[in-house]
A = this chain, B = another copy of it.
Amino acid sequence: MELTPAAKKFILHWGEMGQAWGINRTMAQVHALLFVAPDSLDAEEISRLLDVSRSNVSTSLRELMTWGIVKRVHVIGDRRDRFEALKDVMETFRVIMAERKRREMDPTIALLEHCVEEAEGGDSRDDYTREQLEKMLDFTRMLTTWYSQIDRLPTPALRRIFTAGAKIARMFGAQAPQEANVN
C-alpha cells in the first residue's frame, strides 16, 4: 500500500497544523495517516509510509492513545499490533477538547483562583492586576461551563447546535436591554 497524492498532502498539512497547535509534527502526521487509511496499520508500515523511525512511531502512537484518538486493534493471524484512529470527526474533536480542558483550562482556573486570592491580600498596587485576573478567571469559567453543558449532548445534537449559528445569533443577539425581540 502506498499513499495517494491527496493523502500525502493532507498528512503534511495536518503535521503543520499540529505544530501550530502545540502538537508535534510526527504525532499529527501519524494521526492524519490513520484517519484517512481504509484499514488499520501496523507500526512498521506507518514508519515506512511516513519515512520516520520505528521508535518515533512508537512514541507517537503511545501519545495518541493517551489522548484517546487512536486505538490498538488486532487482526487474527497477525501478531503485530495494528492501529486505527477514531473515524468520526466530531467524536475526535470532542475527545481532544475534553483532554485540552483537563490539561489546560482546569489548571488555568486553579492558578487564576490562587492569584486572585493572593492579590486580595496585597497592597493597592495589586488592585488593578487583581481586577484583570478576576476578569480572566470569569471568562475562563464561562467558557468551560459552556463547554461542559454542550459536551453532555450526543453528537447529533452537537451538530445541530453548530449548524444553527445564525439562529442562535438571532436569538441572543436581539436581547439587548432596549431592543425588541426579533421573533
Contact = CB atoms under 8 A, between A and B. Distances in A.
A159 to B, nearest CB: 7
Nearest to A12: B111
Contact of A87 (B89, B132, B160): B132
The binding surface of chain A is classed by DSSP as helix
A130 B36 CA distance: 8
B165 A148 contact: yes
Among A38, A118, A172, the one with the most B-chain Cβ atoms within 10 Å of its Cβ is A172
A122 B19 contact: no
Contact of A129 (B6, B138, B163): B6
10 A-B pairs with the lowest CB-CB distances in the bound complex, closest first: A149-B165, A146-B165, A38-B128, A6-B119, A6-B115, A89-B139, A36-B129, A157-B173, A20-B22, A153-B173
Nearest to A111: B13
A89 B90 CA distance: 28
A4 interface: yes
18 contacts: A5-B118, A5-B122, A7-B115, A7-B129, A10-B115, A13-B108, A13-B111, A22-B22, A36-B129, A89-B139, A90-B139, A145-B163, A146-B163, A148-B165, A149-B165, A157-B173, A161-B172, A168-B168
Contacts of A129: 4, 6-7, 36-38
Interface string A19-51: 111100000000000011110000000000000
Among A13, A88, A112, A122, the one with the most B-chain Cβ atoms within 10 Å of its Cβ is A13
A94 to B, nearest CB: 11
